[in-house]
Amino acid sequence: MTRILIARNLPESVVAEARGLFDVTYRDRPDPLSRDEMLEALAGYDGALVTLGDAFGADVFSEAGTPRAKILANFGVGYNHIDVAAAKAAGLMVTNTPGAVTDATADIAMTLMLMSCRRAGEGERLVRSGGWQGWHPVQMLGLHMSGKRVGILGMGRIGQAIARRCHFGFGMEVAYASRSEKTLDFPATRCASPEALAAAVDVLVVSVPASPETHHLVSAGVLAAMQPTAHLINIARGDIVDEAALIAALEAGVIAGAGLDVYEHEPRVPEALLALENAVLLPHLGTAALEVREDMGRMAVANLRAFFAGEPVPNPV
Ligand code: 8YV
């Protein structure tokens, strides 16, 4: 029977489904695979269901030689922790879970946008500290989102879901920067570069996949192009934003605020960022809802099932 490693704790229904199809070894733990465990996953199993933090770099594949494993089914849409070219060279297919993550991730973008623009994190800390002196007409004034301009950096599935929420829900004007012109069912202006987009909007949302090309795409220069009243939101991957430059921009008032769900070196969040009142910080909650994680798990298992049945795999990357 096909041997599958499930590398991380998952919703029970997903594990049960996988057990119905395969000889499953279930590593019911929250921490990523160690290097030895990655090598064992490649040598001792036909395939593995892996996720964020399981760092299958080129070095792991070269040490593994000719692996037994033929597929890594990633639980998540982002697969920047896997060197896909090296995996393919070692004879492995990589799959992911697009679609299942879209709405939940867009919702977290809106959560961060509202929290950052309306100073909700700061307000909650004020109430909890016992320091709130009572309502007054000019207390904690934030940025009113209705009618403002939102810039989507990366207009893929998640970017479009965010843009739709902004346009239809908040009456915002949408602009975007993307490698290709998109056909959209709502009005949106395409900007020529991240800098041009940054300069044109009140809220800039990072929604591009992580890759060597997008590393530090939101640079000190892009931040400097933003308005001092503007907010940056990142729900993609931490290293797309130059975190040190962001901290400097928030400290100096180059931008008004930031809402982050992801960090350059997760789970490490720099002290300087923790100290900033104008930063809203979430612990990578993008898809953190049971039914979403179940859908992601079902997609990952469906990729494994199709692969071993010799059928076309639904979500190859
Ligand atoms: C996942 C995500 O929950 O799907 C993604 O790429 O960023 C998340 O929301 C997690 O990162 C697993 O990939």
Task: Give this complex's ipTM.
Answer: 0.91
Name which of 311, 309, 307, 310 is nearest 94 in CA terms: 307
C-alpha–C-alpha distance, residues 85 and 127, integer Å: 50
CB distance 98 to ligand 1 below 6 Å: no
pLDDT in the model for residue 297: 98
CB distance 50 to ligand 1 below 6 Å: no
For the chain, which ranges sit under pLDDT 50?
Answer: none
Angle at 21 between CA 20 and CA 23, to 5 degrees: 90
C-alpha–C-alpha distance, residues 94 and 88, integer Å: 8
Summarised one tens digit per residue, pLDDT across range 141-173 is 999 999 999 999 999 999 999 999 999 999 999
What is the CB neighbour count within 10 angstroms for residue 99?
14
Q: Name the pTM for this structure.
A: 0.96
pLDDT in the model for residue 212: 95
Three-state DSSP state, 130: coil
DSSP state letter for 218? B
Q: Above pLDDT 70, what percent of the chain?
A: 100
Of 96, 101, 211, the residue with max ligand 1 atoms within 8 A of its CB, to mutate for a pocket test, comes to 101
pLDDT in the model for residue 198: 98
pLDDT in the model for residue 13: 98
**Residue 101 Cα: closest atom of ligand 1:** 4
CB distance 297 to ligand 1 below 6 Å: no
Q: Among the options 237, 243, 264, 293, which is catalytic?
A: 237
3-state secondary structure 237-290: CHHHECHHHHHHHHHHCCCCEEEECCCCECCECCHHHHCCCCEEECCCCCCCCH
Q: Is 136 a catalytic residue?
A: no
Alpha-carbon torsion 292, 293, 294, 300, what sign?
Answer: positive
User: 86: CA distance to ligand 1 center in Å?
Assistant: 21
pLDDT in the model for residue 18: 98
CB distance 101 to ligand 1 below 6 Å: yes
C-alpha–C-alpha distance, residues 38 and 65, integer Å: 13
C-alpha–C-alpha distance, residues 5 and 29, integer Å: 12
Q: Is 165 a catalytic residue?
A: no
Q: Above pLDDT 90, what percent of the chain?
A: 100
Domains of the chain: 3-100+289-308 (3.40.50.720), 102-281 (3.40.50.720)
